[in-house]
Amino acid sequence: MQLSLKHCGIRSWRAEDAATLPQFANNRNISRNLRDTFPHPYTADHASSFIATALDQSPETHFAIEVDGLAVGGIGVRLRDDIERYVAELGYWLGEPFWGHGIATEAVTAISSFAIREYSLQRIEAWVFHWNPASARVLEKAGYRWEATLRRSAVKEGQVIDRMLYALLPEIPQDTLTGTKASR
């Protein structure tokens, strides 16, 4: 997979990204805003094992954000199943030296369109810790809408926290929702 955007690219992970990934991922300013599955400290072993898992996925749902030929961040979705099989959860992070240039907004916008099309989604959700207004702003700029604040809905670094729930819904004719396309 490869998307060429104005400020960055989004592409499949490569095994060789493991060597350089920790220099961007090993940062508490990043890990404190993500699920605990994103480790801190972040080592080359973590990078190798994450990339191997990402490359083993079918369909592929986790991608690198590339700037100047280097993987400097990650973006992807978790596909839900059962009654939520048309829903996915978005996640993303970017190396701190690249913050503040519109890269995440561009990447979130592009991956959202890609994911809606590629996985036939009716809804993409993103969960933002209450202390992370930059991420909330990224989602708003990418067309996501705030739906709720889920009080005490997570624990991070020993603190029970509120999370904001954002969602993006593609414009889909109502008859498609009840017709055969929704029967999978």
Ligand X SMILES: CC(C)(COP(=O)(O)OP(=O)(O)OC[C@H]1O[C@@H](n2cnc3c(N)ncnc32)[C@H](O)[C@@H]1OP(=O)(O)O)[C@@H](O)C(=O)NCCC(=O)NCCS
Q: What are the residues binding ligand X (CB under 6 A)?
A: 30, 33-34, 92-94, 99-105, 126, 128, 132-135, 137-138
Q: CB-wise, 103 or 168, nearer to ligand X?
A: 103
Q: CB-wise, 51 or 163, nearer to ligand X?
A: 163
Least gap, CB of 26 to ligand X (angstroms)? 13
Least gap, CB of 73 to ligand X (angstroms)? 7
Q: CB-wise, 134 or 169, nearer to ligand X?
A: 134
Q: CB-wise, 48 or 105, nearer to ligand X?
A: 105
| Residue 181 falls in which region: left (phi positive, over 0), alpha (psi -120 to 50) or beta | alpha
Least gap, CB of 165 to ligand X (angstroms)? 11
Least gap, CB of 91 to ligand X (angstroms)? 7
